[in-house]
Amino acid sequence: MEDITPAEIDNLQMPVHPRSEPLPMVRVAGSHREIGRQIGEDRADQVRHSVENARTLLDQTYDSLELTWEGATIQSRKYMPFSQERYPQYVDELIGMAEGAGVSYDELAVVNAMEAVAMDALHLTKCTSLAVNNDRTADGHVLVAHNEDWLPDDEQDVYLVHASPNDEPPWLAMTYGGLLPNIGFNAEGIAQCCDTVYPNDTRIGIPRVMVSRAVLAARSPSEAIRSALVPKRAAGYNHLLVHETGELYSVEVSARRFAILYGEDGTIAHTNHYLDQKMQAIEDESDELISTRLRYFRAMRLLKRSDLHTLKSLQVIQRDHLNFPNSICNHSDTDIEPLDREKTICALIIDLTSRAMHITWGNPCTSQYHTYYLD
């Protein structure tokens, strides 16, 4: 993918053996309990499989994490009172999902608090997000792209949720297994991508997944940022937040600090290390975070290469293989160490102007994009 010209972008051939299946999408509506139950019933196999995956991962990594499933359950229960106090509606979604999928609430609590109870010990680097606004696209649309890098075994658990909650704007989001959805956009024209970051000030509090689920309900950019900074949060993501008017923000969050970066030249990108200086001061094991820096520089360079972007030019960035296998299109799925195994399990581009999501199931270099709309 080195030195691709705009003409070559137009001539990009699909890979020889593209993965062609579209992702399943479940339509849900009603109260949060009902929404959760509808997701659980429709996606029962995927929810159960993700619980099994989490159990297997803890089994395989016991020598290094020394965490049993029972231990993880006890740990994750400590986070739930904070969730219940601030976001009872999303605890209800989890209860509904557990009922619908025939798993226990405790099991879903572990899956949703996994990053807090175990994943910080994982060496996953995870995810590339970027966006271009209406000043920087050929058709004047606002485009937001995200590669989701995660455990290879969860690739089969990816699906989309098209939700019309009673008390929130409708939204369309990607998720996998028993996780609450958090990467997507809503009818108020707000899009969110989440990138894992590594603060050293984590504490018992509201899990990151629940904090970012709440952002999908935001009706304005300030409401989205306020949700990302909810008090008593356990840790933090980078929330790449985009408004349909073309405002681009990276909200870097830890348990106690935050920074807001702005897409000055109509583009923005974020990977898995803090960019703001005061956030860098609390980054855990910064010198381990090498490939995330390379992905960030590479994404910024490829964004600068075109004055006007298109869906295709963003797809080229999503398929980039610099520093393979730890590239933007991630292929580290054969690493011997289970804790180091990861790959791009889906790649999506949100067209915030036409309220559409183009998404692959699996690595974008070998999979077709399919398009879904928010009604």
Q: Which of residues 128 and 363 has its CB atom nearest to Zn ion in the complex?
A: 363
- Distance between CA atoms of residues 237 and 274, nearest Å: 10
Nearest distance in Å: CB 143, Zn ion:
20
What is the full DSSP assignment across 129-150? EEEE-TTSBTTS--EEEEEEEE
Beta-sheet pairing, 171-176 with 183-186: antiparallel
Give how many residues touch Zn ion by CB under 5 A.
Answer: 3
Nearest distance in Å: CB 182, Zn ion:
24
Residue 214: φ, ψ to 5°: -65, -30
Nearest distance in Å: CB 19, Zn ion:
11
- What are the beta bridge partners of residue 171? 163, 186
Q: C-alpha distances in angstroms, 87 versus 83, 92, 131, 186, 209?
A: 5, 9, 29, 19, 12
Q: Which of residues 157 and 320 has its CB atom nearest to Zn ion in the complex?
A: 320
Q: Please identify which residue in the block is written with the tokens 């960035």.
A: 317
- x-or-dash pattern for Zn ion, window 305-344, by CB under 5 A? ------------------------x---------------
Strands (E), 67-150: 128-132, 143-150
Nearest distance in Å: CB 331, Zn ion:
6
Tally Cβ neighbours within 10 Å of residue 355. 18
Residue 110 contacts residue 73 (beta carbons within 8 Å): yes
Residue 360 contacts residue 346 (beta carbons within 8 Å): yes
Interface with Zn ion (CB under 5 A), residue from 235, 242, 365, 374: 365
Q: Which of residues 53 and 363 has its CB atom nearest to Zn ion in the complex?
A: 363
Residue 184 contacts residue 192 (beta carbons within 8 Å): yes
Tally Cβ neighbours within 10 Å of residue 74. 13
Tally Cβ neighbours within 10 Å of residue 75. 18
What is the full DSSP assignment across 253-296? E-SS-EEEEE-TTSEEEE-SS--SHHHHTTBTTGGG--HHHHHH
Nearest distance in Å: CB 343, Zn ion:
9
Candidates 159-167, 233-241, 280-288, 365-373; binding stretch for Zn ion (CB under 5 A) = 365-373
Q: Which of residues 151 and 329 has its CB atom nearest to Zn ion in the complex?
A: 329
* Using rule CB under 5 A, residue 147 touches Zn ion: no
* Using rule CB under 5 A, residue 363 touches Zn ion: yes
Candidates 4-12, 41-49, 265-273, 359-367; binding stretch for Zn ion (CB under 5 A) = 359-367
Residue 236 token pair: 């933090």
11, burial (CB in 10 Å: exposed 0-12, middle 13-18, buried 19+) = exposed
| Coil, helix or strand at residue 320 | coil
Q: Which of residues 228 and 329 has its CB atom nearest to Zn ion in the complex?
A: 329
Would you give the distance in Å from CA 216 to the centre of its chain? 12
The contact set with Zn ion (CB under 5 A) reads 329, 363, 365
